[in-house]
Amino acid sequence: MNIKKITIGADHAGYLLKEKVIAHLQERGIEVIDVGTNSPDSCHYPDFAHAVCKQVQDGTSELGILICGTGIGMSMAANKHRGIRAAVCSDTFSARLTRMHNNANVLCFGERVVGMGLALDLVDSFIDAEFEGGKHQTRVNMITAIEESESQK
């Protein structure tokens, strides 16, 4: 899969790294939609998780990237959205395998956890990996079934 468009968002704790990731993606020829934040001023991460996930849900972007202090809050907020499979990663093996085995569509990480070099490697590992399907599709379908059954309550 050749990724053409990614939506990215960050709160104040991920703002500086978001700017570096955007430049890296653009150097790779990937169109980037930046939903903010646009400064290091304190703000609320769920707003940006929601904005990124809506664009992945409606097909505006193929994938999303969310950055906060640790990536944890962003992933919690993102995974509340139907059809979103967000993963917090701080190593390239996990970033690659979450796409290959879980068909993750949103990568989350923390500016306070990973440095710039590792962050760019995480992004590359995530977007360059392809979902393998097969037995993994069965498992993704099981996750979707849980999601759907819980939304009926």
Active-site residue, 44 included: no
Active-site residue, 89 included: no
Question: Judging by DSSP bridges, how do beta strands 31-34 and 106-110 pair with one another?
Answer: unpaired
Identify the active-site residue in 12, 24, 101, 136.
101
140 φ/ψ angles, rounded to the nearest 5 degrees: -65, -40
Catalogue the long-range contacts made by 26-32 (C-beta closer than 8 Å, 24 or more residues apart): 30/3, 30/4, 30/5, 30/6, 30/127, 31/4, 31/5, 31/6, 32/5, 32/6, 32/7, 32/8
Identify the active-site residue in 68, 81, 89, 108.
68
Report the alpha-carbon distance of residue 42 to residue 140 in Å, rounded.
36
- Residues marked active site are found at 68, 101
